Amino acid sequence: MSIDNNWFHEMEARIPKGEIRTRFAPSPTGYMHVGNLRTALYTWLIARHGGGKFLLRIEDTDQGRLVEGAVDVIYATMRRCGLTWDEGPDVGGPVGPYIQTQRRDLYGKYAQLLIERGHAYRCFCTEERLAQLRQDDPNAKYDRHCLSLTPEEIQAKLEAGEPYVIRQRIPEGTTTFHDAVYGDITVDNAELDDQILIKSDGLPTYNFANVIDDHLMGITHVVRGAEYLSSAPKYNLLYEAFGWDIPTYVHCSSVMFSDPATGTVRKMSKRHGDPSYEDLVAQGYLSHAVVNYVALLGWAPHGDIAEQEFFTMDELVRAFEIEGISKSPSAFDMDKLNYFNAAYLRGLSPEDFAREAQPWIRQAVKNEAYDAAAIAALLQARCDKLSDIPEKVDFFDALPDYGPELFTNKKSKTDAQVSLRMLQETVPVLEGLAQWSQDAIHGALVALAERLEVKNATLMWPLRIAAAGKAVTPGGAVELCRILGKDETLRRVALGMEKLR
């Protein structure tokens, strides 16, 4: 393959300059786990804080692990979290395409350029030979068997149609790279393997494609997990082999998870069943609460806002600085997430909370006669996550089978005898109401308690138990009766009196 230098010059001329450019480059191999979401968020924040561009690129070269529909999940997750992109597969841009398999023709040209410059070589070793090497030593690096092939031997193998991969040729010596979080790191090149750049099917490996794409897309800051620190020297060597500027590396420490089943603390992983972003949403967490919490998993604000916990997206953009990223692993704490989510739920307007809560209410309250918005009004201050809702409101559709002991409450000064009397006195008052409104019900019951010379709680407790069949309910007797309606309330009060007799 002859080198067309004009083509390479044209590719260089397309690269945007003079601005911060970051990218999130997920593989469509499943759902967005928390570590991926944090990487996407930090990458987005760096671009937005610096007034630059944020790119979305789909890295789908690992064809064997692709999951159908995963790209749509990526789009939906990013949008739900407020992580808008300036360039990407669906919006275009000056350096597209933004899907790796649609760029496959260019990777081979850059690999050929490396071969011409002596920084890469073709490897014709069979899987059987490589397996034998690993059998002898599972940790063995490739033995560079094909590096010694003569040009004539290589040409003969090519003419015979033998399959091959292209490997990076690691030079002798050491490689030093700088990371914005971890500082300068020096690695002995003898520890590095001659990694595969182009697979036998012509597709690039992740390690090669992301370097090529990052350069050609003008990426200035590369954000990824600390597990990629060991690959950074190879990336550096590729940049140097091409004579390209090296982007700012930002490696983020691991997110750790305390496994409730074993008590062990380990790196968070979907393989272990740890919650992904989609899992958290399915469990009733708000996207903004998750994003706010994830932002603080390994980053902290400085200065006057060092103690601030709750941030809008605009506030995060203003506050986020790379210097605030920690080297220390962070702990994912479900209790802390509950704290954030509860605060976000309380902060919603009643209309927004009702909209979020309605699907969860309707899981348990199928009867459309019961106003979901009215039920939601009882719940906003009483749930930490939306998935708490169905269990709290299931009594609306079906009164649970409860025992008369619930009517006894020391604080309300009620027992079975007192409760029966209160319900008996309540029935004609409720039956006589011309208007079934909260104010009307409340006024009538308060007046009744005053006439009976009992505290409001002594009257309200038996009525609430009869209405809900539960000791703990969202809202008190008045609210529950108003939502249930007059006929259903009186029916349930009658059932309660039967239990007490």
Please give the average per-residue pLDDT across 49-73, as a whole number. 88
Percent of the chain with pLDDT over 70: 99
What are 456-495's pLDDT values in tens digits? 999 999 999 999 999 999 999 999 999 999 999 999 999 9
- Round to whole Å and give the CA distance between 146 and 255: 40
Percent of the chain with pLDDT over 90: 87
Looking at 296-409, list the stretches that DSSP marks H as alpha helix, in order from N- to C-terminal side.
313-319, 334-347, 350-364, 372-379, 389-393
Please name the residues in contact with 243: beta carbons below 8 A apart, sequence gap of 6 or more: none
Q: How far is CA 494 from each of CA 5, 254, 280, 399, 400, rounded to the nearest angstrom?
A: 91, 59, 42, 13, 15
Q: Say which residue, 275 or 427, is predicted with more confidence.
A: 427
**DSSP state, 99?**
B
HSE-CB at 257 with a 13 A cutoff on CA atoms is 20
Whether residue 118 has pLDDT greater than 70: yes
**Would you tell me the crossing angle of helices 486-500 and 456-468 to the nearest 10 degrees?**
100
What are 152-164's pLDDT values in tens digits? 999 999 999 999 9
Cβ-count burial 354-384 (b if 16+ within 10 Å, e if not): bebbbebbbebbeeeebebeebbbbbbebbb
Closest by Cα among 405, 117, 402 to 243: 117
**pLDDT for res 148:** 95
Angle formed at CA 191 by CA 189 and CA 192, multiple of 5 degrees: 70
Coil vs helix vs strand at 384? coil
CB of 16 closer than 8 Å to CB of 270: no
**Would you tell me the crossing angle of helices 486-500 and 416-431 to the nearest 10 degrees?**
150
What are 303-334's pLDDT values in tens digits? 999 999 999 999 999 999 999 999 999 999 99
Please name the residues in contact with 63: beta carbons below 8 A apart, sequence gap of 6 or more: 101, 203
What are 96-105's pLDDT values in tens digits? 999 998 999 9
CB of 21 closer than 8 Å to CB of 47: yes
- Round to whole Å and give the CA distance between 331 and 301: 17
**pLDDT for res 430:** 98
Q: How far is CA 295 from each of CA 16, 152, 209, 219, 317, rounded to the nearest angstrom?
A: 29, 56, 28, 22, 11
**pLDDT for res 4:** 84
Whether residue 64 has pLDDT greater than 90: no
pLDDT interval class at 173 (50, 70, 90): very high
HSE-CB at 213 with a 13 A cutoff on CA atoms is 30
User: Which residue, chain included where needed, has tokens 């954030």?
Assistant: 340
Closest by Cα among 318, 500, 319 to 415: 500
- Round to whole Å and give the CA distance between 398 and 492: 11
Radius of gyration over every alpha carbon of the chain, rounded to an integer in angstroms: 32
Closest by Cα among 243, 248, 253, 244 to 222: 248
Whether residue 108 has pLDDT greater than 60: yes
What are 181-239's pLDDT values in tens digits? 999 999 999 999 999 999 999 989 989 999 999 999 999 999 999 999 999 999 999 99
Whether residue 269 has pLDDT greater than 80: no
Q: Give me the residues paired with residue 334 across strands.
A: none
Please give the average per-residue pLDDT across 432-442, as a whole number. 97
Torsion sign, CA atoms 314, 75, 15, 41: positive
- Round to whole Å and give the CA distance between 402 and 470: 7
Closest by Cα among 367, 372, 371, 370 to 357: 372
**pLDDT for res 2:** 65
**pLDDT for res 1:** 54
**pLDDT for res 150:** 97
pLDDT interval class at 70 (50, 70, 90): confident
- Round to whole Å and give the CA distance between 378 and 380: 6
pLDDT interval class at 3 (50, 70, 90): confident
Coil vs helix vs strand at 185? strand
**DSSP state, 66?**
-
Whether residue 127 has pLDDT greater than 80: yes
Q: Is the pTM of this model over 0.85?
A: yes
Kindly list the catalytic residues.
270
CB of 407 closer than 8 Å to CB of 465: yes
